[in-house]
Amino acid sequence: MQKKIIVIGLIISSLLFVQCIQHTDKSEQPKSKIERLLSNYADVKLESDLDKLTPNQMAMIPILIEAAEVIDELYWLQTCKDKDEIFNSISNDKIKKYFKINYGPWDKLSGMKTFVKGIDERPLGANFYPENMSYQEFEELDDMDKYSSYTLIRRNEIGKLKIIPYHKAYNEKLVKVADLLNKAAKLTDDKGFKKYLQLRAKALLNDKFFDSDVAWMQMKNNTLDFLVGPIEDAEDRLFFAKTAYQAMLLVKKDKLSKDLEKYTLLAPYIQKNLPVDDKYKKEIPGNLSDIVVYDVLYCSGSWNSASKRIALTLPIDGHVQLKVGSRKLQFKNVIEAKFEKILMPIGNLLIDDSQIKHVTSKAFFQNTMFYEVGSTLGLRNTINNKGSVRKALKEYNNVIAECKNDILSLLFITKLHEMGEMKDEDLMDNYVTYMADVFRSVRFGISNDQGVANMIRFYYFEEKDAFRRNERTGKYVIDFDKMKEAMMDLSKEVLMIQGDGDYDKAKKLVNDKGYIRDKLLHDLYRLQKESIPKDVVFEQGLEKLE
């Protein structure tokens, strides 16, 4: 009798299993590898309220988008020289889409691993240098322009290295971009924007960007903005010298920008009140000049590749910063999109139910804004004659800088609350949202400096009991007082590492905490299992703005 029951039970179970398979929706079927990769990105339509733009400003938009599209072509040339050949060899439409997202066959969210069969690892020097160039060859090249941010290294007819300036290597396309900028300049009524566009057009044709950077900082009343040029060096992983092309068309959010103006005056006060000895805060913070809020209308090149920016500090050139300061740009529509598509779902999964109310879009915007302010605090040069912090910390400089900027953003907000500047806000919102954002950023992994910096902060907070994990629910509860204490301690440690130019301590901090341990890895897997994206893909173009 017992055997009959077992047999009947097995038959029923089998029938139920078959029935379950028959009624399983396609969406519940296991995802392929490329489908899992694509799920890392959420599609976001780039749009903004353009009702206040004048007819001339509206007429400038298609011209500047066309310029950005040419810049996109230049970025492809710099980072994926065999683009067409590789793309045409792919038959799977989903792989083609992922190829376009990453601007090549290497996954930028997964340590540059190739996702196209038959493709080798990405060259460290991208397409800025010959792939078979040795370090010895580079060192023996007797021309200091080899270190320029705006030159390519190529081989001549007999195989020797030679140097080609960007403006010569890419002349045909750059002439087209310059013509479009001059055409747009004729339409604007804003004298500052006109001057900038004209100087930028000239700079693209001679690789001398100082005057156009200064003009960009001096313009104050423009509603449209257009960032364009070879600006950041993140693509060059060989010598971290060569810059890649990018462009971004923006529309200013005037009211929000004016609301933030008062914070630009507080950096010197915060610098004086950093939790370190006076010798570590003797430098006067660079002139903040502006914190300006924008919506992004179009993005191309490096800034459109894989992970999207929610903020920028420009100009990067230190000489320009010394002369006219820097501008902090916040991208409101991108911040809102990332909060809705990524941060809030992460909060719902990993933040305790009692504190989820503190995960807010406003706090996310504030934390992002003050990250850019944090970049101006601390020291640029060591206090013990080791030269610049960048030079002293070498390959660990970028990670330590990200740590500093992130943690000082929270310190800045805390100080503002203590000063009564944000008395109508709930500081707990900033702390809990900050913690949720750690999970968002740490997912970028060890190939991303900010991802490593967030791992360091996570494990530092854990050691200081700034949060606890409910093992039953798998959710985190933030201890406000301990998190505040941990924030002050980490701020002090990072500022001292920079000021002392302590390479060994920087290395130890990164090696001890800059990797994902099992428990955090499990929680990140939960995010992946729930198909919570890591970043966004822009749906953009003229048709999206109509």
Give the per-residue pLDDT at 373.
76
DSSP helix/strand/coil, 409: helix
The gap between the terminal CA atoms of the chain, to the nearest Å, is: 73
Give the per-residue pLDDT at 424.
80
The amino acid sitting at 107 is: D
The amino acid sitting at 146 is: K
Going by C-beta distance under 8 Å and a sequence separation of 6 or more, which residues neighbour residue 207? Answer: 148, 150, 165, 166, 167, 230
Closest by CA to 443, choosing from 328, 530, 329, is: 530
Q: Is omega for the bond preceding 55 within 30 degrees of 0, making it cis?
A: no
Model confidence over 215-271: pLDDT tens digits? 999 999 999 999 999 999 889 999 999 999 999 999 999 988 887 777 777 888 889
Question: In 339-479, which ranges are continuous DSSP H helix?
Answer: 344-350, 361-374, 389-393, 397-418, 427-442, 449-463
Two tokens, residue 469: 């994990």
Please report how many Cα atoms fall inside a 13 Å half-sphere around the Cα of residue 58, on the Cβ side.
10
Model confidence over 61-86: pLDDT tens digits? 999 999 999 999 999 999 999 999 99
Cα dihedral 517, 520, 526, 532 in deg (nearest 10): -110
**C-beta neighbour count of 170 within 10 angstroms:** 22
Going by C-beta distance under 8 Å and a sequence separation of 6 or more, which residues neighbour residue 432? Answer: 347, 351, 355, 358, 359, 363, 478
List the pLDDT tens digit at each of the 546 positions of the chain.
Answer: 433 333 334 333 443 334 443 444 444 566 899 999 999 999 999 999 999 999 999 999 999 999 999 999 999 999 999 999 999 999 999 999 999 999 999 999 888 999 999 999 999 999 999 999 999 999 999 999 999 999 999 999 999 999 999 999 999 999 999 999 999 999 999 999 999 999 999 999 999 999 999 999 999 999 999 999 999 988 999 999 999 999 999 999 998 888 777 777 788 888 999 999 999 988 877 555 678 999 999 999 999 999 999 988 899 998 998 888 888 899 999 999 999 999 999 999 999 999 999 999 999 999 988 887 777 788 889 999 999 999 999 999 999 999 999 999 999 999 999 999 888 889 999 999 999 999 998 887 766 788 899 999 999 999 999 999 999 999 999 999 999 999 999 999 999 999 999 999 999 999 999 988 998 999 999 998 999 999 999 999 988 776
pTM: 0.84
Give the per-residue pLDDT at 284.
78
CA distances from 395 to 35, 238, 391, 523 (A): 34, 11, 9, 29
Give the per-residue pLDDT at 347.
97
Q: Could you tell me where the beta strands, DSSP code E, fall in 210-282?
A: 224-232, 244-252
CATH architecture for the domain at 50-252+290-325 = 2-Layer Sandwich (3.30)
Q: Give CA–CA dist 85/109, Å, rounded.
A: 23
Give the per-residue pLDDT at 287.
52
Q: Could you give the residue range(s) of every CATH 3.30.540.30 domain in the chain?
A: 50-252+290-325
